[in-house]
Structure 1
């Protein structure tokens, strides 16, 4: 019998957009964050989806330890499992986007240029989805 869904994360695949949506429902511990991202990866593999919308408005921004794990362990594994560049659009509350410690923990786009993943932060869900769709269009056109 599969494990019940965690109370801190909902995962939905949008086939109309080819976007995997993960909505964090509350602040999480580092082990919960890691388990949640592992669940996201399993769903992405199941749907062969490289475009993720991560709604972290209810979760506190990633701290340095979580960001280190993401960059050194999790995201490199995503590239291997999905076989191509994965786009991660982080949806944050405007107040969190201005958090200096969060800015220091979140990698810059330049640091991801040669990686099999790309992440950007947004405060508007429509803009985040547009960025994901643009990444998909570019990949299909052979640009990315």
Structure 2
């Protein structure tokens, strides 16, 4: 496979035994870096036909409305056409991030995902996030 190399602030590992793409943000990032990282991630997901993603943002530690708006309006609508089905995104976050009002407001509420071809959920424990992903089709 001729895949783009992840930028230095991101690692991407495909776990064929679980059929999960494990993505780890390595540091704080700008919105432009977030966009770049997600676009590279999509290329890797498409190459592996993988619609279950574990997104470890514990080191990234930043979520903002501008980045969330880009995700909702530009990035997430690309998933179904590229991956051919519903994509499941398990976000692994530091507990303090879940208590941050701005970060919380940037993440869509559960009802948002009901009729979408993607589903996102937040976790603080990697095992729980992985188990959730493995329950998805």
1:27 to 2:35 alignment: no
Shift of 1:34: 0.3
The superposition leaves residues 16-43 of structure 1 with CA deviations (integer Å, 9 ceiling, x where unpaired) of: 0000011000000111000000011000
Q: Figure out how many residues of one structure are paired with residues of the other and give that number.
A: 136
Cα deviation for residue 2 of structure 1 reads: 7.3
Query: Deviation at 1:79?
Result: 1.4
> Post-superposition shift, 1:60?
2.3
Q: Normalising by structure 2, report the TM-score.
A: 0.95
- Residues 21 and 3 of structure 1: CA distance in aligned 2, closer, same or farther (over 3 Å): closer
CA distance in 2, matches of 1:8, 1:120: 23
Partner Cα distance (1:14, 1:39) in 2: 17
Whether the 8 Å CA contact 2:6–2:12 is kept in 1: the answer is: no
**Does 2:108 match 1:107?**
yes
Runs of 4+ in 1 over 3 A off after TM superposition: 1-5
**Alignment match, 2:18:** 17
- Is 2:90 the counterpart of 1:92? no
Q: Normalising by the residue count of structure 1, what TM-score does the alignment of the two structures yield?
A: 0.90
Distance 1:2 1:119, change over 3 A: closer
| Aligned mates of 1:2, 1:128 — CA distance in 2 | 26
What is the 5 A alignment of 1:55-70? 55-70=56-71
1:5 Cα offset (Å): 3.4
Residue aligned with 1:52, SS: strand
Match in the other structure for 1:139: none
Q: How far is 1:3 from its partner?
A: 5.9
Superposition deviation, residue 7 in structure 1: 1.2
